[in-house]
Amino acid sequence: MLRQFFILSCLFLSTVAFAQQHKHDHGHKHDGHEHNQHDGHDHSGHNHDGHSGHDHSGHDHSGHAHSDSGDGHDGHGHEEHKNNFVTDCGTPAQPHHHHGYDPTGTAIHHISDANVYTIMDMVRIPLPAIIYNKTRGLEFFSTGKFGAGHHDNGHYGYKDYVLYQGNIHRITCADFQGSDHYDVQGFDTAMIKAKEGKDIEKRYAIVNGKGYLLEQKTIWDAGLLGGGPSNFIDLSPTKNVVSMILVSLLLFLGFRSAAKAYTTRAGEAPSGIQAYLEPMFQYIRDDVAIPFLGDKHEKFLPLLMTIFFFILGLNLWGQVPFLGSVNVTGSLTVTAIMAIIVFIVTTINGNADYWKHILWPPDTPLFVKIILIPVEIMGMFIKPLTLMLRLAGNISAGHIAILSFVGLIFIFGKAGASLGGSLTGTALAIPLTLFMMAIELIVAFVQAFVFTILTASYLGAATEEHHDHH
**Contacts with another protein, residue ranges (CB under 8 A):** 104-105, 108-109, 111-113, 130, 167, 198-201, 217-221, 225-227, 233-238, 240-241, 244-245, 248, 251-252, 255-256, 258-263, 266-267, 277-278, 281-282, 285, 298, 301-303, 305-306, 309-310, 327, 330-334, 336-338, 341, 392, 396
Residue number with CB closer to another protein (8 or 233): 233
Residue 36 to residue 42: CA distance in whole angstroms: 10
To the nearest whole angstrom, how small is the minimum distance from the Cβ of residue 237 to another protein?
6
CB 51 within 8 A of CB 44: yes
Residue number with CB closer to another protein (247 or 453): 247
Residue number with CB closer to another protein (67 or 347): 347
Residue number with CB closer to another protein (104 or 386): 104
SS3 433: helix
Residue number with CB closer to another protein (83 or 236): 236
Beta bridge partners of 189: 203
To the nearest whole angstrom, how small is the minimum distance from the Cβ of residue 9 to another protein?
30
Residue 245 to residue 127: CA distance in whole angstroms: 13
Choose among 333, 376, 375: nearest CA to 353: 376
How crowded is residue 64: how many other Cβ atoms within 10 Å of its Cβ?
Answer: 14
To the nearest whole angstrom, how small is the minimum distance from the Cβ of residue 87 to another protein?
23
Choose among 318, 321, 342: nearest CA to 329: 318
To the nearest whole angstrom, how small is the minimum distance from the Cβ of residue 372 to another protein?
31
CB 57 within 8 A of CB 97: no
DSSP 153-206: -BSEEEETEEEETTEEEEE--TT---EEEEE--EEEEEEEE-TTS-EEEEEEEE
Q: In terms of residues, how long is the chain? A: 470
To the nearest whole angstrom, how small is the minimum distance from the Cβ of residue 424 to another protein?
28
The pair phi, psi for residue 154, each rounded to 5°, is -80, 140
To the nearest whole angstrom, how small is the minimum distance from the Cβ of residue 239 to another protein?
10
Residue number with CB closer to another protein (262 or 435): 262
DSSP 205-244: EEETTEEEEEEEPP--STTTTS----SEEE----HHHHHH
Residue number with CB closer to another protein (84 or 282): 282
Residue number with CB closer to another protein (167 or 463): 167
To the nearest whole angstrom, how small is the minimum distance from the Cβ of residue 109 to another protein?
8
Helical (H) or strand (E) element with 443: helix 419-463
To the nearest whole angstrom, how small is the minimum distance from the Cβ of residue 111 to another protein?
5
Residue number with CB closer to another protein (309 or 412): 309
Residue 138 to residue 134: CA distance in whole angstroms: 9
Nearest 5°: the CA angle 375, 377, 383 is 90
Helical (H) or strand (E) element with 263: helix 239-264
Q: What contacts 282, CB < 8 A, 6 or more positions away? A: none
To the nearest whole angstrom, how small is the minimum distance from the Cβ of residue 220 to another protein?
5
To the nearest whole angstrom, how small is the minimum distance from the Cβ of residue 60 to another protein?
25
Residue number with CB closer to another protein (397 or 423): 397
Residue number with CB closer to another protein (251 or 454): 251
Choose among 15, 7, 245, 233: nearest CA to 117: 245
To the nearest whole angstrom, how small is the minimum distance from the Cβ of residue 293 to another protein?
13
Residue number with CB closer to another protein (124 or 239): 239
Cα 442 to chain centroid, rounded: 20
SS3 49: coil
Choose among 451, 260, 464: nearest CA to 338: 451
Write down the H helix ranges in 296-418.
Answer: 297-317, 332-349, 352-359, 366-412
To the nearest whole angstrom, how small is the minimum distance from the Cβ of residue 435 to another protein?
23
